[in-house]
Structure 1
Amino acid sequence: MDVVELMAWLAEHGCSAVLKADGERTPGTRWMVIVSGGALGAGSFFRVDLPSPDACLQAVLDHLEAVGLSPFA
């Protein structure tokens, strides 16, 4: 699964998602992902700052698994 597929899955499940690259930040935190709402529950919020989009993708997948959701089901 790539980032676009995951974001489409999140949107289909009512979530809002943002993936941001910020070249002005330090190399270890240039990428940020935020996911909220929808299938995660009202008032839910997940954010992580990591060095790559792939690391952000894995963090979201890990979070989804931790809360009992999976785009692979």
Structure 2
Amino acid sequence: MDVSRVMASLAEQGVTVLLKVAAERLRDATRPWTFVASGTPFRDDLLVRTDAVSLEACLEVCLPRLRELGLVIPD
């Protein structure tokens, strides 16, 4: 999966995406990666968010949810 292409596609659809890896959580071996998506396509200030052990794990949780909300996610 081309993550850069996915993020660009989301941005083109009005979604702001934040990807974060927290050093302190990485050291503690807890879920250091965070994915947060927000923006115009969502109503009622909805956020799609997860904390996970890897970037891939974040995407596995959040991308299906974004598809359910009607967004187009490239392969």
What is the TM-score with the length of structure 1 in the denominator?
0.80
Divergent runs of 4+, >3 A: none
Q: Which residue of 2 aligns with 1:36?
A: 38
Equivalent of 1:61, from 47, 52, 63?
A: 63
* Higher-RCO chain (CA-CA 8 Å, sequence separation at least 6): 2
Counterpart code for 1:3: V
Change over 3 Å in CA distance of 1:56–1:14 after alignment to 2: same
Instruction: Please give the root-mean-square deviation of Cα atoms over the aligned residues, in Å.
Output: 1.7
List per-residue Cα deviations over 1:2-39 (Å, max 9, x = no partner): 32111111110111110001121132311000000122
Q: Which residue of 1 aligns with 2:20?
A: 20
Between the two proteins, the alignment pairs up a number of residues equal to 72
Q: Which has the larger radius of gyration?
A: 2
Change over 3 Å in CA distance of 1:8–1:17 after alignment to 2: same
Counterpart code for 1:66: E
What is the TM-score with the length of structure 2 in the denominator?
0.79
**Cα distance in 2 between the residues matched to 1:40 and 1:2:** 24
